[in-house]
Structure 1
Amino acid sequence: MIRLNHTRLLLPALLMIFWQWSAVWINNPDYPTPVAVYHAFVFELTQEQMLYHLGMTLWRVVLSFAFSMVLGVIFGIMMGRFPKLNELSDPVLILALNIPALVTILLCYLSIGLVEAAAVTAVALNKIPTVVAMIREGARVVDNDLLDVGRVFQLSPATRFFRVFLPQLYPYIMASARTGLSLIWKIVLVVELIGRSNGVGFKLHTLFQFFDIAGILAYTFAFVAIIYLLEGLIFRPLDRVVSRGRV
């Protein structure tokens, strides 16, 4: 296991060495070294409010993620299991999938106002169609024979749903959750940049005005580190649980 961890760290270490060497060789303030980015990180962490802004962004990501996953899974299952509903809703889904995220954000801010509810709503509306599309495909290929076995053994509808139907959707739910998290936090940054006075997006906009590339990279790497932490603490353990449940 230790050898595997060292192997996984080899490529990032080589990239870091190349970055440091190339930055020193180019010697341009627009191309900061990893050391400069580290100093910017320490400054933002100790002298500014990095933890506060990271926390606000993470809070918006969690809220938007929860709303989009719950609503997306519900609508996706309904569209996948009821052909008539799918036929009626498919044009709306296609439209929602192709509306630019920026348009949705602006419309939410204009209609709801520059408030927290508008920010979370805009992010969730951008993600829900993607979840619906993925879950719909999973609901279409659910093994109906297994559901019939549950009926033969006189399982209750709730038991059939949670013990027979839903486990077959786990891979699709996990896939939509992973892609959703990567998409949501990027949209949250745009939402914060346009209409919030805190969060990583707001800070990136402020640092951009001062041409502080090292600070921008410091915030970027800090939030990416949080996403890696969520991956290791939540998604990978869930993957193992789901894999054991499906064996």
Structure 2
Amino acid sequence: MTAQTSAPVRGPHGAARTRAPAGRTRGRPPGRWQGPAAAGAFLALLTGGWQVMALALDSVLVPGVDAIASEVLRLVADPRFYSDLGVTVQRVLLGFALAFAAALVVGIAMGRSPLARRFFEPAVLIGLTVPGLVWALLCVIWFGVALINPVMAVALSSAPALTLSVYQGTRATDAQLLEMAHVYRFTTRDRLRYLWLPSLAPALFGGARLGLSLAWKVIVLVEIFGMSSGVGASINGEFAAQNVAGVLAWTVLFAAVMALVEYGVLQGLENRAGRWRKVASV
């Protein structure tokens, strides 16, 4: 290892000052627990604000935090919760996988070929403007209660945002890397594995977050309107029973699952996929 030295730098009036060693930044570095602490502070503020609103309104339509917490504990202790959650997660993953595969092919084609961009651009724009409720209703009408119903609804709602992210990432790919792949005669598989996927990783993860958020919303609508199992069907049951606390409890648990996917899966995969960028910048 080599020792870091401070180099004198002339100021605007000729006065010598010392440059900070490379790798150091001014100010105190962010603490390891600042992120979780900030998130915890937001959740505490949200919980406290909801409780204040519930006490001020004093209505059965706005249950307090204690009532919602009791419903959360009831749902967690019920085995049906895990079966409904598992069914919904399976439908989301199947639909998202289908959307991801289609978006990867179409997005790269749009980024590489002006003709493909002009051909697929109207479909992407239409897909981005159609509300998720419309996809849910159409898939219920077209496919009934079969498994293809929620899978297609998730795919149709997620694919446009994913395709747009892949297209933008393809346009931002280094032209020198593309030239190198052409000179060394990379096969299509090698280009996808060693060029496109690493280069598109930031765009793919950004699109995945947006696509999954849309998928969760659409799958609940599909299950409410046309399915007898899943989280949406359970929420519909709580609504039919006029159990507002139960609906909110399902919402809290659904948000917890989304947070687990984001912080436990997506961020870990993103950090792993971006390790080569950190090594290259050293």
Task: Identify whether the pair has TM-score above 0.5, normalized to the shorter chain.
Answer: yes
| CA positional deviation for 1:105 | 2.6
Q: Would you say the 8 A contact 2:144–2:226 is kept in 1?
A: no
Moved more, 111-120 or 91-100: 91-100
- More helix by proportion, 1 or 2? 1
Q: Report the alpha carbon displacement of residue 44 of structure 1 after superposing the two structures with TM.
A: 2.6
* Deviation by residue 1:152-205 (Cα, 9 ceiling, x = unmatched): 455555334322333221111011001111110010000001100011111111
Counterpart contact for 1:36–1:214, Cα < 8 Å = yes
Match of 1:174 in 2: 205
3-state secondary structure, aligned to 1:49: helix
**How many Å apart are 1:4 and its aligned residue?**
4.8
Rounded Cα–Cα distance in structure 2 between residues aligned with 1:97 and 1:20: 37
1:19 maps onto 2:68 in alignment: no
1:1-247 equivalences under 5 Å are: 1-2=32-33, 4-47=35-78, 49-153=80-184, 155-247=186-278
Residues of 1 paired with 2:35 and 2:164: CA distance? 36
Give the letter aligned to residue 115 of structure 1: A
SS of 2:232's equivalent? Answer: helix
Q: Give the Cα separation in 2 of the matches to 1:97 and 1:25.
A: 40
Q: Distance in 2 between matches of 1:211 and 1:144?
A: 58
Q: What's the RMSD between the two structures over aligned residues? A: 2.0
- Describe the shift of the 1:149–1:206 C-alpha distance in structure 2 as closer, same or farther (beyond 3 A): same
Unaligned segments of structure 1, at least 5 residues:
none
Distance 1:71 1:191 in 2: 21
| Aligned CA distance change for structure 1 residues 49 and 165 (closer, same or farther; 3 Å) | closer
Q: Note if contact 1:72-1:128 (Cα within 8 Å) is conserved in structure 2.
A: yes
Secondary structure in 1 matching 2:242: coil
What residue number does 2:12 align with? none
Contact 1:53/1:199 (CA < 8 Å) preserved in 2?
yes
Gaps of 5+ in 2: 1-31
% identity of equivalent residues: 31
Contact 1:167–1:246 (Cα < 8 Å) also in 2:
no
Matched residues in 2 for 1:207 and 1:127: separation?
A: 27
Q: For 1:160 and 1:85, locate their aligned partners in 2 and report how far apart those are by CA, in whole Å.
A: 19
TM-score by length of 2: 0.80
In structure 2, distance between residues paired with 1:140 and 1:61: 29
State how far apart, in whole Å, the 1-side matches of 2:34 and 2:109 are.
Answer: 46
Cα separation, partners in 2 of 1:42 and 1:157, compared to 1, 3 Å? closer
CA gap of 1:107–1:242, structure 2 versus 1, over 3 A, is: same
How many equivalent residue pairs? 247
Q: Give the direction of change, closer, same or farther, for the CA distance of 1:135–1:47 in structure 2 (3 Å limit).
A: closer
Q: Detail structure 1 runs of 4+ shifted over 4 Å in the superposition.
A: 153-157
Distance 2:154 2:192 in 1: 29
Report the CA distance between 1:54 and its aligned residue: 1.6
Could you say what secondary structure the match of 1:202 adopts? helix
